[in-house]
Amino acid sequence: MKNCDVVIHLAGISNDLLNKLTSAKVYDPTREYTLNIAKICKSLNKKFIFASSCLVFGSAKTENYLTETSETSPQTGYSLNKLQIEEDLKSIADSSFSPICLRFATIFGVSSRIRFDVVINMLVGMVLTEGEIKLNSDGEAWRPHLYIEDACSLILYFINYEKKMWIIKFQL
């Protein structure tokens, strides 16, 4: 990390696909290594950007837009882990170290290792392979999504952002 200006932390575990582990076994290591990476960035005076999740808000039953100051209510081990990491980063922030937390929506788009468990990718895949979309629900479900190139543009914005702050939480 000595030779870079910014660390963009995207790594993490979204869930235990086999459902064999406790939440602590899945997420505690993520929390620990994220804090360790951030502490190294702080000691080297490097900018640290953390990919969090808008799932920290839980299932908001509101007609209003949520903001970085809206109440959080994580509903899963994954969303609780993201919020705990944000709190850990806040605890080590000071006037010389300002970690940035970006609360991304579910990111979709084409990649060399495309994920078809992401609903928009799955729906596009259905159209391309079957010529129609088949819903596995009543169609009332709502979830925010963000195109990968927009997420990259946002990260680039914060790479170049110079204002000192203790933490930014950005929800799209």
Alpha-carbon torsion angle 138, 140, 143, 144, nearest 10: 130
Average pLDDT of every residue of the chain = 86
- Which tokens in the block code for residue 155? 């990260």
> How far is 12 from 148, CA to CA, in rounded Å?
17
Structural domains present in the chain: 6-105+144-171 (3.40.50.720), 112-143 (no CATH)
Residue whose entry in the numeric block shows the structure tokens 């806040």: 90
pTM value is 0.83
- Per residue in 111-150, pLDDT tens? 888 877 778 888 888 899 999 988 877 877 777 889 999 9
Give the number of C-alpha atoms closer than 13 A to the C-alpha of residue 35, restricted to the C-beta side: 18
